[in-house]
């Protein structure tokens, strides 16, 4: 890299950052809001303790250390669980787009390396409670997750490590923000994760998780729910991966630019006569790097795309989508990635139509939506 350019970039970033008039932030306003967050935690602690007592006899929730006033997560007692691996996430309350979202002061995730038993311990700044009855395969490869008892905005879980592009699949058209964190569970093939959502509906409608494993296969958190995927060579260094989970009405593309560049479409519908597809335009210099991808029935051939006026003509790659075990599924994926030198300013589709011949030789014209 050119040092001169880096120096110029540093100088220009400082100049750009110093340019706008930002206005000030009133410390009293922040402190007032912060106090409300703390008070709300304490209220939640009271509600959580009451709820814990109510379900204690049912067997799904154990209350321990009630009355503890520490905010420091206790070290795991190795004498009682000698093979446990533990991590702690601190201070999960947050403010998302102006909305105060309550979370525990800390959450500890313990994984017994021998049995795979998982225990989540929550602390609200005053009391501590723990919930168990979750487990993963000790050898790796499985996932478990749970909503946080007393914390309706929280999901906590254990997933394989690595689980590339670990992505939550929720209800269609979900809104709101989330914060998340992930930590490796030392000495295990797993990682712990927490996600705090601004809307409780995002938790209640959460269907599960999808991720790419170390072999490149796309997996879901539900053994009964299959994901199908195929890799396509595009403009990135590594192939992009088109993936779908039909049971969750979900379609997406993972690319090689790290988690930040993952883009997802919660594709709606029945995969009937319409053609599900996703499109993405990302500025790349003065042009736009465009990705179009989607699903056709298995066995589709002679695939012919139609593009919007001025978008040029770009051939589509096709490949059968396979499940994590390599068995072909009911879809043929199509994919194209190209540079549009005259980017559109409005979010209108690049791909306007698609035609293909099915396995029986019949020609179809797909409807894009």
Partner 1 sequence: MGREDKAERDAAFAALVEQATPSLMRTAWLLTGSTDAARELVQASLVKTYAAWHRVRPDEALAYTRRVLVNHNTDTWRRRRGEHLVPDLPEQPHHDVSGADHRDDLVRLLATLPAQQRRVVVLRYYSDLSEQATADVLGISVGAVKSAASRGLASLRASYPSSTPATGGSTR
Footprint of partner 1 on 288-327 (CB under 8 A): 288
DSSP-derived secondary structure letter, 315? P
Q: From CA 245, how far away is CA 219, in angstroms rounded? A: 9
204 binds partner 1 (CB under 8 A): no
**CB nearer to partner 1: pick between 117 and 161:** 161
**CB nearer to partner 1: pick between 8 and 204:** 8
Q: From CA 347, how far away is CA 340, in angstroms rounded? A: 14
Q: According to CB under 8 A, which residues from 222 to 281 bind partner 1?
A: 257-266, 278-281
By CB neighbour count within 10 A (0-12 exposed, 13-18 middle, 19+ buried), where does 121 fall?
buried
20 binds partner 1 (CB under 8 A): yes
The answer to whether 143 and 159 have CB atoms below 8 angstroms apart is yes
By CB neighbour count within 10 A (0-12 exposed, 13-18 middle, 19+ buried), where does 154 fall?
buried
75 binds partner 1 (CB under 8 A): no
For residue 341, the minimal CB distance to partner 1 (Å) is 11
59 binds partner 1 (CB under 8 A): no
Contacts of 302 (CB under 8 A, 6+ apart): 355, 356, 357, 363
- Among 360, 364, 336, CA closest to 350: 336
3 binds partner 1 (CB under 8 A): no
Q: From CA 164, how far away is CA 212, in angstroms rounded? A: 5
**CB nearer to partner 1: pick between 94 and 146:** 94
Fill in the per-residue mask, 108 to 127: x = in contact with partner 1 (CB under 8 A), - = not in contact. --------------------
For residue 206, the minimal CB distance to partner 1 (Å) is 13
For residue 101, the minimal CB distance to partner 1 (Å) is 10
Of 68, 76, 90, 126, the one binding partner 1 by CB under 8 A: 90
69 binds partner 1 (CB under 8 A): no
For residue 237, the minimal CB distance to partner 1 (Å) is 9
Q: According to CB under 8 A, which residues from 335 to 354 bind partner 1?
A: 343-345, 347-349
Q: Binding segment for partner 1 among 92-100, 115-123, 134-142, 297-305 (CB under 8 A)?
A: 92-100
286 binds partner 1 (CB under 8 A): yes
By CB neighbour count within 10 A (0-12 exposed, 13-18 middle, 19+ buried), where does 2 fall?
exposed
By CB under 8 A, how many residues form the interface with partner 1? 81
214 binds partner 1 (CB under 8 A): no
Is the bond leading into 303 cis (omega within 30 degrees of zero)? no
43 binds partner 1 (CB under 8 A): no
Contacts of 320 (CB under 8 A, 6+ apart): 230, 298, 328, 329, 331, 332, 333
Q: Binding segment for partner 1 among 19-27, 146-154, 293-301, 357-365 (CB under 8 A)?
A: 19-27
Bridging pattern class, strands 128-135 and 117-123: antiparallel
By CB neighbour count within 10 A (0-12 exposed, 13-18 middle, 19+ buried), where does 171 fall?
middle
**CB nearer to partner 1: pick between 46 and 259:** 259
217 binds partner 1 (CB under 8 A): no
360 binds partner 1 (CB under 8 A): no
128 binds partner 1 (CB under 8 A): no
Return the ∠ at Cα 28 (arms to 24 and 32), rounded to 5°: 125
**CB nearer to partner 1: pick between 194 and 317:** 194
């Amino acid at each position: 890299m050119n040092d001169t350019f880096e120096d110029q970039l540093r100088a220009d970033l400082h100049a750009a950052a110093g340019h706008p008039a930002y206005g000030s932030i009133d410390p009293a306003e922040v402190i007032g809001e912060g106090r409300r967050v703390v008070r709300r935690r304490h209220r939640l602690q009271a509600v959580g303790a009451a709820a814990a007592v109510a379900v204690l006899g049912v067997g799904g929730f154990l209350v321990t250390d009630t009355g503890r006033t520490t905010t420091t997560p206790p070290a795991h007692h190795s004498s009682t669980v000698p093979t446990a691996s533990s991590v702690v996430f601190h201070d999960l309350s947050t403010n998302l787009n102006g909305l105060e979202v309550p979370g525990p002061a800390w959450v500890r995730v313990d994984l017994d390396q021998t049995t795979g038993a998982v225990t989540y311990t929550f602390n609200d700044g005053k009391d501590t409670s723990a919930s168990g009855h979750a487990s993963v395969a000790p050898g790796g490869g499985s996932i478990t997750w749970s909503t946080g008892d007393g914390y309706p905005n929280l999901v906590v879980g254990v997933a394989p490590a690595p689980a590339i592009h670990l992505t939550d699949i929720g209800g269609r058209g979900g809104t709101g923000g989330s914060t998340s964190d992930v930590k490796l569970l030392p000495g295990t093939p797993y990682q712990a994760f927490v996600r705090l959502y601004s809307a409780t509906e995002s938790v209640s409608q959460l269907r599960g998780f999808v991720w790419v494993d170390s072999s490149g296969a796309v997996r879901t958190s539900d053994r009964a729910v299959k994901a199908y995927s195929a890799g396509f060579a595009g403009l990135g260094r590594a192939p992009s991966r088109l993936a779908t989970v039909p049971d969750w009405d979900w379609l997406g593309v993972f690319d090689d630019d790290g988690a930040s560049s993952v883009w997802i479409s919660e594709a709606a519908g029945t995969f009937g006569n319409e053609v599900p597809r996703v499109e993405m335009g990302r500025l790349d210099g003065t042009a736009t790097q465009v990705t179009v991808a989607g699903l056709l029935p298995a066995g589709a051939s002679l695939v012919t795309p139609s593009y919007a006026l001025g978008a040029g003509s770009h051939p589509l790659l096709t490949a059968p989508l396979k499940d994590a075990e390599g068995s072909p599924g009911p879809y043929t994926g199509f994919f194209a990635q190209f540079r549009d030198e005259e980017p559109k300013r409005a979010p209108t589709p690049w791909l306007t139509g698609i035609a293909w011949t099915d396995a029986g030789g019949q020609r179809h014209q797909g409807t894009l939506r």
